């Protein structure tokens, strides 16, 4: 089996993580990476410098969820993210989608689709 592989990176609020994880599980996303990160959103960055005077910069704690998929549709992940993470308040986060050119499962040397799935051999 072949096909494009994508990484969906979601930066969002820490407090929404558990519900997001549960919803990911329901659409068949089992493997992903979660990191604690700090970030700036757009509405804060514009106050970084005003007339040459440095303003206080507020780095906010966020979580970064990185999901690499081959069979689960990216749009399904985006829909789940919007459903679970949208509070309509500033700071709900962002989703970044990029193409992945290679995946290697270190234990077996399997590549790409085979490295992303757990088909019994
Ligand atoms: N362009 C970007 N590049 C990389 N990371 C980003 C970018 N925009 C947002 N982020 C990350 O996402 C986090 C949450 O962003 P945030 O939700 O505040 O985005 P926003 O564009 O300000 O939207 P909103 O108006 O809803 O707040 C940021 O703290 C940062 O970690
Ligand atoms: Mg923001």
Nearest residue (CA) to ligand 1, atom 7: 41
In angstroms, the CA 29 to CA 26 distance is 7
Average pLDDT over residues 43-69: 72
Residue pair 94/39 in contact (Cβ under 8 Å)? The answer is no
93 burial type by CB count under 10 A (0-12 exposed, 13-18 middle, 19+ buried): buried
Q: Does the pLDDT at position 68 exceed 90?
A: yes
Could you tell me if residue 46 is inside a domain? yes
The percentage of the chain sitting over the pLDDT mark of 90, rounded to a whole number, equals 74
Could you tell me if residue 80 is inside a domain? yes
Length of the chain: 121
Q: Does the pLDDT at position 53 exceed 70?
A: no
Q: Does the pLDDT at position 86 exceed 70?
A: yes
Could you tell me if residue 121 is inside a domain? no
CATH of the domain at 65: 3.30.70.120
Could you tell me if residue 100 is inside a domain? yes
Domain interval for residue 111: 5-116
In the prediction, which pLDDT does 94 show?
Answer: 97
Q: Does the pLDDT at position 76 exceed 80?
A: yes
User: Which ligand has an atom closest to residue 39 CA?
Assistant: 1
Residue pair 102/111 in contact (Cβ under 8 Å)? The answer is yes
Tell me, using a 6 A CB cutoff, whether residue 60 lines ligand 1: yes
Q: Write out the two tokens for 62.
A: 């966020």
Domain total in the chain? 1
Tell me, using a 6 A CB cutoff, whether residue 118 lines ligand 1: no
Residue pair 12/86 in contact (Cβ under 8 Å)? The answer is no
The percentage of the chain sitting over the pLDDT mark of 70, rounded to a whole number, equals 84
Q: Does the pLDDT at position 52 exceed 80?
A: no
Residue pair 101/7 in contact (Cβ under 8 Å)? The answer is no
Average pLDDT over residues 7-15: 96
């Amino acid at each position: 089996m072949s096909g494009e592989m994508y990484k969906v990176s979601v930066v969002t609020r820490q407090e929404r993580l558990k519900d997001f994880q549960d919803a990911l599980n329901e659409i068949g996303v089992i493997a992903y990476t979660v990191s604690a990160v700090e970030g700036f959103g757009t509405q804060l960055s514009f106050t970084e410098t005003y007339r040459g005077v440095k303003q206080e910069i507020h780095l906010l704690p966020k979580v970064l969820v990185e999901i690499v998929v081959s069979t689960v549709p990216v749009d399904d992940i985006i829909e789940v993210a919007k459903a679970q993470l949208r509070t309509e308040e500033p700071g709900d986060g962002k989703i970044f989608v990029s193409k992945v050119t290679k995946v290697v499962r270190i234990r077996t040397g399997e590549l790409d689709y085979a490295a992303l799935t757990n088909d019994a051999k």
